[in-house]
Amino acid sequence: MDFKTAVANEILTAIRAAFGEVDIAAADIAAALEIPPDTAMGDYAFPCFKLSKALRKSPIMISDALAGTIHADFLGKVESVKGYLNFFIDKAMYAEKVLGLALEQGERYGADDSGAGKTVVLDYSSINIAKRFHIGHLSTTMIGNSLYRLHKFFGWRAVGVNHLGDWGTQFGKMIAAYKRWGDHDTVAAGGVDEMVKLYVRFNEEAKQDPALNDEGRAWFKKIEDGDAEALEIFNWFKSVTLKDAERVYDLLGVTFDSYAGESFYNDKMQPVIDELKQKGLLIEDKGAQIVDLQDYGMPPALILRSDGATLYITRDLAAARYRKETYNFDKSLYVVAYQQDLHFRQLFKVLELMGCEWYKDCEHVAFGMVSFEGGALSTRGGHVVYLDDLLHQAIDKARAIIEEKSPDLDNKDEVARQVGIGAVVFFDLYNNRIKDIDFTWERALNFDGETGPYVQYTHARACSVLRRAGEDAAEPDFAALSDPFSQDVVRLIEQFPDILKSAVNRSEPSMVTRFAVDLAQAFNKFYYENKVMVDEPGTRAARLMLTDAVRQTLKQALYLIGVEAPERM
């Protein structure tokens, strides 16, 4: 039973009975229903001031008139309080319907087919070739992964794109360094670390011998021109980098459908440049080619440098056009740090000026910066935290905690992996994505705070209760779930579908993360206040049903943010 819709229908029926036909739909009433902050004020509240203009009466008069006419069997009572209609759902029926629906729908609880027939393209992670995967890539990777899973949950066709940073003069320098000082076996064995050493050496040597930079530019020109040797080395560098990155992606449970990076669009930019010229959008400025955006409160979008070189926005314009033509997306999300806000505003404006109506379907999903233990990250300053190091440290620390708290636990290594990785991911996705994050071990791996391990432990606790109970054939007595602690849990489970829909619509995975904490906290209060394995069969069956619904909902919430749910901890 959809209680929100049922309440809305009752309100509409009462309005018509008291005031005649009005131009309002039950869906509008349902959208206006609020969940009071205090359950003493009801399960739902309808602000009658929304009807004042149409009915030409005060909210209090409307509320008083309607309250006495609503008598549905699923309602315990209806109150009129200062222009609000407060609805109290019959608690036993409420628990029965919510828990019954959740367990009946199983892993699909909260899902619908609103995305059926639609495609979303998600651009996330976007690591750089010949550089190690560091903690700064964590947010884009995990926000993108969560949005990928959320969209698929609602029936969307999701296309995950890892827009590799694989273009620029630095790759010519890499090849020059490799040709001078590198060898195949050393780079193959050492991976990205060896490539970084070569690049660092090149820059150091170039300070003494600036002619090396010309050599680097010459090799990059060979890449641009399709030289066989240059491309062979360049593509090998990419495969070595991706092999390194794949280990991190495997740990995180992240996959992609496309690795088309900047170099992929090298032969796709000219048609875009030609179109900009044909539409009179390109203007020459000091030898460079720009799109003037002054009328829109932005600096010019630089499309071509004075030497004819392309830029990020040139490639992003080509990428946007390619993605629309290839996937015919209904939504295109760019999960990129907020420092690139101007870049994406310029990109979307240029698309609009080109007449691409689908520019409205493009969204910059911005996020804040990551620091570690209070220190800002800086590649040049040497303060870099590599993601694979961080994840393995997290697993080791989780393993130590498990040894201390649960030394007899089976499969300790697997659980340590689930908890360690989960702690890092959960911590990253806990706050609103636009906020900056300071990662600290003490908070991330805390089993008592608002953390991944806390939620995972709560899931494991629910699994443990259900294992001990075994099969229970008793008929549930839902009146046993009328206490405030049980009702708090039921109310959260009912809200789960709306939370997920909001998370998708707002591109905000933290809504799911925070929901998981709220549900875990509510269940733990219920668990301490209400003994589950009581002698009375009906009460025990009802409380086990609630426990099973919590287990299932927590597992699903964790999955949608990219965290595993251990059954034993």
Q: Helix or strand or coil: residue 161?
A: strand
Active site residue 137: yes
Both structure tokens of 387: 């993601």
Q: Helix or strand or coil: residue 225?
A: helix
Amino acid (1-letter code) at residue 527:
Y
> Tokens 């009975």 identify what position?
17
Query: Which residue among 131, 151, 238, 364 is the active-site one?
Result: 131
Residues near 384 by beta carbon (within 8 Å), at least 6 away in sequence: 132, 134, 135, 377, 378
Backbone angles phi and psi of 533, in degrees to 5: -85, 65
For residue 528, count CB atoms less than 10 angstroms from its CB and return exposed for 0-12, middle for 13-18, buried for 19 or more: exposed
Both structure tokens of 513: 């993360």
**C-alpha closest to that of 364 among 328, 338, 326, 327:** 338
Query: Which residue among 134, 173, 222, 349 is the active-site one?
Result: 134
Amino acid (1-letter code) at residue 165:
G
Amino acid (1-letter code) at residue 543:
R
CA dihedral for 443, 447, 453, 459, sign (positive or negative) = negative
Query: Which residue among 4, 91, 97, 137 is the active-site one?
Result: 137
**C-alpha closest to that of 291 among 215, 351, 380:** 351
**Neighbour tally for 177: CB within 10 Å:** 24
**C-alpha closest to that of 122 among 435, 504, 500, 423:** 504
Q: How far apart are CA 454 and CA 520, in angstroms?
A: 8
Give DSSP secondary structure letters for 362-405: EEEE----EEETTB--BTTTTB--BHHHHHHHHHHHHHHHHHHH
Residue 194 in contact with residue 182, Cβ under 8 Å? yes
**Neighbour tally for 275: CB within 10 Å:** 16
Q: How far apart are CA 150 and CA 25, in angstroms?
A: 29
Buried b (16+ CB within 10 A) or exposed e, 187-197: beebbbebbbb
Active site residue 184: no
- Active site residue ranges: 131, 134, 137
